Amino acid sequence: MAVSLHHIVVDAHDLPALAGFWCRVLDWRVLCEADEGIVIGAHEHAAPGLCFVPVSERKTVKNRLHIDLAPDDQAAEVDRVLALGARRVDVGQGDDATWVVLADPEGNEFCVLRPQESLVD
């Protein structure tokens, strides 16, 4: 039996706003928009995508799963994503962390890593 990662699903209070934020961050586009959710991706055959589903409550605790971004230039990417509406957050990463922890407009944490050459760098 074969399996692959299809979507990463994100609870969202304001689906269009959060999907739009991540489209700008990842240079992706909206692939499907419905009341049940909004799917974004590079294109419809490039898995995985992000699927934003509606919830009535706002985020209240640290994520148990988060996204790591690996740019060519960490400092420039942090500045770019902050300008798009992210904010810096402290989740206990410490001053010696080689990654920067940010939160999207709904408070979902994600990290901007140093440039990476492999999945195990």
Give which of 80, 56, 74, 67 is closest to 111, Cα–Cα.
67
User: For 42-84, how does the pLDDT look when each residue is reduced to its tens digit (9 = 90+)?
Assistant: 999 999 999 999 999 888 888 889 999 999 999 999 999 999 9
Domain span(s) for CATH 3.10.180.10 in the chain: 1-56, 65-121
Please check whether the domain covering 65-121 is classified as CATH 3.40.50.1110.
no
Amino acid 55 reads V
Beta bridge mates, 49: 7
User: For 5-18, how does the pLDDT look when each residue is reduced to its tens digit (9 = 90+)?
Assistant: 999 999 999 999 99
What pLDDT sits at residue 61? Answer: 86
pTM: 0.91
What is the C-alpha separation between 24 and 3, in angstroms, rounded?
A: 29
**Tokens 């942090």 correspond to what residue?**
78
100: pLDDT strictly greater than 80:
yes
For residues 20-34, average pLDDT: 97
Cα 79 to Cα 10, 46, 82, distances in angstroms: 24, 27, 5
CATH of 1-56, one of 3.20.20.70, 3.40.50.620, 3.10.180.10, 3.40.50.300: 3.10.180.10
